[in-house]
A and B are shown apart, each in its own frame.
Chain A
Amino acid sequence: MKEKYFTNKQIISMAIMAAAMLLVSCITVPVVLGVAFPGIRCLSCGLFFGLIIALAYAKVPKFGVGTIVTLVCSLPMFFFSWVIPCFTVAAGLCTDIYFLLTGKKLTTVTTTGLGVVLMASMMVIAESLGIWFIDNNAWTSFAQYMSEGWRVAVGFFGSGILGGIGSFLATRIFKEFKSLRNHG
């Protein structure tokens, strides 16, 4: 049989990570749904998403992990709105491109960058799609949106920072678990 790009074990690891991402978003996002702040949904789940995506890459260090994890975790979101899977998968793809550009090396710095890229790109793409679809004149509402630039900046940088913190914590966690094997 033709050798597959991902082994079954790797697919299962990614699926479990996707389940964890879905669980976290189901817990954190409804809490902040009513708050009108740019990127509030990304801010609420940034830390955990950053942690989980970094664990996924640490377990399966291959191009495509970000896209697959976000695709699998966003399938139930189709039930609510098809926009959600769109921006989630797009953010996953951005993370994959970043992973490729770093030469697929998972140092502490590059792993932290995974969370930053995922959450910052998710915030930007989600908000852009939201502006495009909610108002029928995208440019007018984009201008309105940016008129309070500080809020957008807080949302953007906040999401990126939280995602980065989550990924950084994942590097420490993975190092701790790796040392377990040496203890026997």
Chain B
Amino acid sequence: MDAIEVKGLCVKRGNRQIISDLSFCVERGSFTVLSGPSGCGKSTILMAIQGLIGEEEDSSATGEIRVNGNLVTLQKRDDSMISYSGFLMQNVDAQVVNLISEDELVFGMENRGFSPEEMEKRSREYEKLFDIQPQKEVLHLSGGQKQRLLIASCLCTGHDVLLLDEPFANLDRAGVEKLRSVLRGCCAQGTTVLCVEHRLEEVCQIADRVLWLEDGDLSDYREDEMRIFCQNRAEILNVSLDWNCNPGSGLLSVRRLNARRGKNPVLQDLDMELQENETRLLLGPNGCGKTTLLRFLCGLSKFKEFSAEALSYEGKDYRSRFLYGHLRKQVGFVFQNPVHQLFMKTVDEELLLRGADGKSLGQLLDIFGIAHLKDRHPYSLSMGEKRRVSVAAAAASGAKLFLLDEPTIGQDYGNLLHIAQSLHELQKRTGNTLLLSTHDTLAAKLFGGKDIRVEQTGTSAESNSGA
């Protein structure tokens, strides 16, 4: 008996057919990756297998899904129904319910009515296996630690099927290695993992199989075929874009920047110079201070939390309390979560709000490939589309310096290339300077050129990226 059996799954949302007559099986103890272009229905499939598809308004599903032989409901769930698999969604912050790690670990077991002795035994076992500090507050855990905590909580409850939605999206290199070894260990113990992921190069090493879903067709790749397929997918990003052809005069200069978050020092003695018409990457592990640096550069830091020997933009000194806040009107900034900076009812109103006029509006819509979305509400778009809109909106301000905080998160290779090409086109037309932060080394190759590496100690070093 296979761990997961999907037969004739059809999912409709409103009038749109999302999935049509899909069938596949996942063997016990295997690590299967489900991938495909954005919007093809991968997350919807996971929701259906978990039995949560009925909770989506306007969604209807038919077909048959079995997990370990148990029939999964495709209708609205009753609160008394149990799950046959563990489920990890992309946004881990919206899944952790408890305040301390130990309570989160035993949450599923308490819900199932386990005895305190059994809970004690299992929680001790998984704390060691997943390197969890039981008394640590969830607030102080990193994204990777929260993920491991949630996976451990699912396994403690006795689930031997795990459904993971883009678990590698927000992780840096160290986090990816850690999660890979954890998942490898789980599969070795007989756990079945079905993982939706764009970053095929990360999962290829531990996957047994890749299922590629495109235009309703499911293709199955195993072993050598799988490795070749993953390599071919990554080849899409082997595009040479001529960044940094004609760097201009000095635009931004920072010397001996020290910044802290609360009482903790984040950046120490950081130096940076940016020229006009230049593209730079800000690389470094999670928590090293990339976002803090970007927020500082666009005037969003609290004035008392930093000190710098020099901070000049377009030849003007911005170190004074009065002037520092004005930087945010001069510099374009794209937040990591695009929802935070989408405000208006339609996409074109959003661009007009940020400073686009009639002529530049059409240009921006074309450059970023969002002309067909101009009358849509930004919140109705997919995450990839929202990100493109937020980048276009920031570009509409016409700022000379354009800062992007992790624009590559959760993007498939196609969207990633699209964003890079759009930014390249924008730079050619306007001559602006781009500074992007990312921990994705593959995506970094697309923006190849000079990069600034921020170390864990908060200091920086300049080098040429691996592209």
Contacts and interface: CB of A to CB of B under 8 A. Distances in A.
B111 to A, nearest CB: 10
A181 B58 CA distance: 8
Contact of A179 (B16, B57, B58, B377): B377
Contacts of B80: 1
Contacts of B261: none
B378 to A, nearest CB: 9
Nearest to A177: B379
Interface string A73-95: 00000000000000000000000
A8 B80 CA distance: 10
A177 B57 CA distance: 13
Given A180-B379, A181-B57, A181-B58, A4 B79 contact: yes
A3 to B, nearest CB: 9
Contacts of A177: 379
A176 B345 contact: yes
Given A176-B345, A184-B14, A9 B380 contact: no
A169 B13 CA distance: 29
Nearest to B14: A184
B55 interface: yes
Contact of B376 (A4, A7, A9, A183): A183
Interface string B114-138: 0000000000000000000000000
Interface in B55-78: 55, 57-58
B79 A184 contact: no
Nearest to A6: B79
Interface string A1-45: 100100111000000000000000000000000000000000000
A182 B79 CA distance: 28
A30 to B, nearest CB: 18
B380 A184 contact: yes
A49 to B, nearest CB: 23
Contacts of A180: 377, 379-380
Given A7-B79, A177-B379, A182 B14 contact: yes
Given A1-B80, A8-B79, A183 B380 contact: yes
Nearest to A176: B345
Interface in B385-430: none
B345 A184 contact: no
Interface residues of B, number: 13
Interface in A161-184: 176-177, 179-184
Tell me the dominant secondary structure on chain B's binding face.
Answer: loop
Contacts of A176: 345, 377
Nearest to A15: B97
Nearest to B378: A180
Interface in B14-58: 14, 16, 55, 57-58
A119 B377 CA distance: 33
B14 A181 contact: yes
B41 to A, nearest CB: 13
A9 B55 contact: yes
Contacts of A8: 79
Contacts of A182: 14
Contacts of A181: 14, 57-58, 380
A177 B58 CA distance: 14
Nearest to A8: B79
A183 B55 CA distance: 19
Contacts of B57: 181
A183 B79 CA distance: 30
Contacts of B14: 181-182, 184
Interface string B330-352: 00000000000000010000000
A136 B16 CA distance: 68
A184 B376 CA distance: 9
Contacts of B377: 176, 179-180, 183
A106 B345 CA distance: 24
Contacts of A179: 377
B47 to A, nearest CB: 15
A103 B79 CA distance: 28
A9 B345 CA distance: 28
Contacts of B13: 184
Contacts of B58: 181
Contacts of A4: 79
Nearest to B94: A16
Interface string A32-73: 000000000000000000000000000000000000000000
Nearest to B381: A183
A179 B58 CA distance: 12
A91 B14 CA distance: 39
A183 B379 CA distance: 10
Residue with the greatest number of chain A CB neighbours at <10 A, chosen from B80, B376, B380: B380
Interface of B: 13-14, 16, 55, 57-58, 79-80, 345, 376-377, 379-380
20 contacts: A1-B79, A1-B80, A7-B79, A8-B79, A9-B55, A176-B345, A176-B377, A177-B379, A179-B377, A180-B379, A180-B380, A181-B14, A181-B58, A181-B380, A182-B14, A183-B377, A183-B380, A184-B13, A184-B14, A184-B380
Shortest 3 CB-CB contacts between residues of A and residues of B: A183-B380, A180-B380, A1-B80
Given A184-B13, A184-B380, 17 more contacts: A1-B79, A1-B80, A4-B79, A7-B79, A8-B79, A9-B55, A176-B345, A176-B377, A177-B379, A179-B377, A180-B380, A181-B14, A181-B57, A181-B58, A183-B376, A183-B377, A183-B380
